Structure 1
């Protein structure tokens, strides 16, 4: 029996559809460099590994002679100017966050995106949402799937990790939840492949946002306390 007392969300591909800004930023840079550009679906497959891995892949595929670190820096500058130009919450994401607020469930964001980018996206796309934590990539914590940041959130909330639901769209998120001792929830509307997510062995998996919403309602401790009262 699941007993949810807090929810952690990945950002890209879970709460927010960011692929169009990522693709647009990289393609505009490649256009200036006179290089081949890629389809949005290509970027959708590459997002899960983080910006560094994506840039390294593109650099190798195109045989770009510029050092990867320099290429990455130029891409990050371009993307940093377009974080919320086209990016929007997935349909139903705001409903789930409203459900968590209604149930008094603390909610946090845990992403491998750079910290300053996470801060901007959460502030601009979810201005009315009181996230307890918005943790991105920084020197404070190792990147996922290292469980340190997830465990920090649970400890700060004074919630046993086994009562935390970690929701994400890639195997990296599933492995993070497993390593942290949390309930892992895979979702298939994002950028991970459904087969890869299934093979990662999540505790639960959702193909529609509204089903995740129902799951949270059905397994939230505060909701059961209200019913019993």
Structure 2
């Protein structure tokens, strides 16, 4: 028997490469307001805590900047209208989800994006996902466990058969707060040494390796998690 029958996925940096659209949107607003812009390698470390936190880290002075609220609202509107310009699933991810669906695993997305955006991106790119859970009223954003717990409830999932998959320290802490094992992927928004230092249940470099981790039989996973 497989150790897991339910998988909760992070979205940005795990299933979807959203970096270019986020960078272009942030820099468009910063340039409009006369602020310095960011390179991709710099901006990627700001991601993982939602759009507001991204702008807090991107705008000089953060929330103390006198025009911050106006800039954040402009960014939110602009990004919503341009969030699919360059965004694409990472290579092999669509095939991975099809394989997992074929093996009978239940799957959900848990993201710090706005709930409506998460649902739309899920419909467009990942029809194999049963539940798409984004930031919404009444649920604290990650790394709080609220959205992960809501996704498990929606799926009827048992905690001891569920695993969380992400690409950052935010995802690792979300899994820990929800009492779930965490598998991290190295193709997202953090460098591999940062992820290794967290000591996740597994760290994988490609979707096929992730498939093997998610479909391991019970014994091999339990032994691995004790290492």
Question: What does 1:3-152 correspond to in 2, within 5 Å?
Answer: 3-60=3-60, 65-126=65-126, 129-152=127-150
Instruction: Quickly say closer, same or farther: Cα 1:107–1:63, change in 2 above 3 A.
Output: closer
CA contact (8 A) 2:165 2:182 kept: yes
1:143 deviation in Å?
A: 0.8
166, 169, 172: which is aligned to 1:168?
166
Q: Are the equivalent residues in 1 in contact too, given 2:3–2:216 (CA < 8 A)?
A: no
Cα deviation, 1:38-72, whole Å, max 9, x if unaligned, reads 11222212112322222112222699843322221
Equivalents in 1 of 2:46, 2:174: separation in Å? 19
With 14-23 and 38-47 compared, the bigger mean Cα shift is at: 38-47
RMSD of equivalent CA atoms: 2.3
SS across alignment from 2:47:
helix
Give the gaps of 5 or more residues in structure 2: 219-227
Task: State whether structure 2 residue 211 is matched by structure 1 residue 213.
Answer: yes
Match of 2:179 among 181, 185, 196: 181
SS in 2 for 1:12: coil
What is the DSSP-based 3-state SS (H/G/I as helix, E as strand, rest coil) of the residue aligned with 1:60?
Answer: coil
CA deviation string 1:141-194 (max 9, x = no partner) = 111111122122223333221211110001111111122122211111100232
Distance in 1, Cα, partners of 2:142 & 2:42: 22
Aligned partners of 2:191, 2:133: CA distance in 1, in Å?
Answer: 24
8 Å contact kept, 2:3–2:215: no
**C-alpha distance in 1, partners of 2:150/2:121?**
22
Distance 1:147 1:18 in 2: 23
TM-aligned CA distance change 1:203 to 1:63, over 3 Å: closer
| Number of equivalences | 219
- Per-residue CA deviation, residues 62-92 of structure 1 (Å, 9 max, x unaligned), is 9984332222111111111111110000001
Q: Conserved in 2, the CA contact under 8 Å of 1:174 and 1:201? A: no
Structure 1, gaps ≥5 residues long: 221-229
Q: Secondary structure of the residue that 2:216 maps to in structure 1?
A: helix
Q: Distance in 1 between matches of 2:62 and 2:116?
A: 29
Residue of structure 2 equivalent to 1:204 = 202
3-state DSSP class of the match of 1:34? Answer: coil
- The question of whether the paired residues in 1 share the 8 Å contact of 2:115 and 2:135 is answered with yes
Q: Distance in 1 between matches of 2:34 and 2:179?
A: 47
